[in-house]
Amino acid sequence: MLNWCRLSSLIVLVLLTFGCQKHEMDGSSITASGLEYKIHSFSDTRDSARDNQWIGIRYKAETINGDVIQNPDSITVIPYQTYVDTGIMEALSLLYLGDSASFVMPGRRLRPLGISSSAPKVKLTLSFKEIFSPEEYQFSKQYPGLLQLIPDSNQQHIISMVRSKSIADYRVTSGIHAFWLKENHQGKRAIAGKRVVIDYEGFTTEEKLFDSTVKRSEPFDFELGLQGQVLRGIEILLQQMREGEEVLAVIPPELAFQNGSSDGTIPPNTVVMYNVKLRKVFDNETADATTSL
């Protein structure tokens, strides 16, 4: 009888401990492990983090008094491993992709974020931004920012396409991700005012061809820098190229078809890809072509 009384008292004590735990945030809830959380926004997705994925988050860590400990201005990517006993893993397990929430936990439970804090309680405001497979994560490290331009449904396709190419150089200028497939360090530079001849093929990120001088057997001859001759993104790209070079470029909407193409084949705000060959850079500055892309 005594043992049952002691056991009952212990159960009541545990329930009181969790039931009476102080809430640091108004309207928050507390998990069985003692993690306090408050959801700020819900997404429409039901994509959750799984073991061995890489998770992109935005976060701010601060003391209960509001003193900022860390507040990175870019997305932080961490491995998701449920078997690691940390507050960040438990926090992510409560969220779907696109959700945001605040959590209160001991500072020692934030080790995966590189936070070393002995504070008994730290407030972590967290937004679940991205999910990467191991392959996608390695690709995003090699080509930072590229996958963020590509719709989720096409990302694996882009990875496979880039991996299949023999890439001599990679550069990012004005948001254009450019892969040099052929270099010619001795070739003449294309600069504004020069007459140039190019071949190009335009693709969607699904690699659907929508325009091609190659298919028409009509290289494009024009004066570089003359307004309205080519897309702004191609103009920027060409001024980094030399005669004889070939480049595959991923061009953001603001430098391509932000308002859609004139024939309606490319919707507004579409990311496009162009394979561009700079065939000739003339020494004179004449420009007798008026055809535009």
Can you give the pLDDT at residue 110? 82
Q: What is the CATH number of domain 135-281?
A: 3.10.50.40
Can you give the pLDDT at residue 45? 86
Can you give the pLDDT at residue 18? 46
Can you give the pLDDT at residue 287? 44
The Cα 56–Cα 52 span in angstroms is 13
Phi then psi for residue 291, to 5 deg, are: -70, 140
Can you give the pLDDT at residue 217? 95
Q: What is the pTM of this model?
A: 0.69
The Cα 139–Cα 191 span in angstroms is 32
Can you give the pLDDT at residue 83? 58
CATH 3.10.50.40 fits 20-132, yes or no: yes
Instruction: Using alpha carbons, select from 266, 274, 271 the residue that is nearest to residue 253.
Output: 271
Residue with tokens 């010619």: 184
Sign of CA dihedral 240, 243, 248, 252: positive
Phi then psi for residue 27, to 5 deg, are: 75, 15
Instruction: Using alpha carbons, select from 225, 223, 230, 199 the residue that is nearest to residue 292.
Output: 230
Phi then psi for residue 281, to 5 deg, are: -120, 115
Q: Which residues of 120-151 are buried (b: 16+ CB within 10 A; e: fewer)?
A: eebbbbbbbbbbbeeebbebbeebeebbebbe
The residue extents of the domains of the chain are 20-132, 135-281
- Other CB atoms within a 10 A radius of the CB of residue 42 amount to 12
> In this structure, are residues 92 and 55 in contact, taking their beta carbons and an 8 Å threshold?
yes
Phi then psi for residue 232, to 5 deg, are: -60, -40
Can you give the pLDDT at residue 286? 46
Can you give the pLDDT at residue 243? 97
What sections of the chain are H helices per DSSP?
2-19, 87-93, 134-142, 146-149, 152-163, 213-216, 232-238
Q: 97-109: per-residue pLDDT in tens?
A: 999 999 998 888 8
Phi then psi for residue 79, to 5 deg, are: -75, 140
- Other CB atoms within a 10 A radius of the CB of residue 105 amount to 24
Ranges of residues in the chain with a pLDDT under 50 are: 1-2, 6-7, 10-19, 285-293
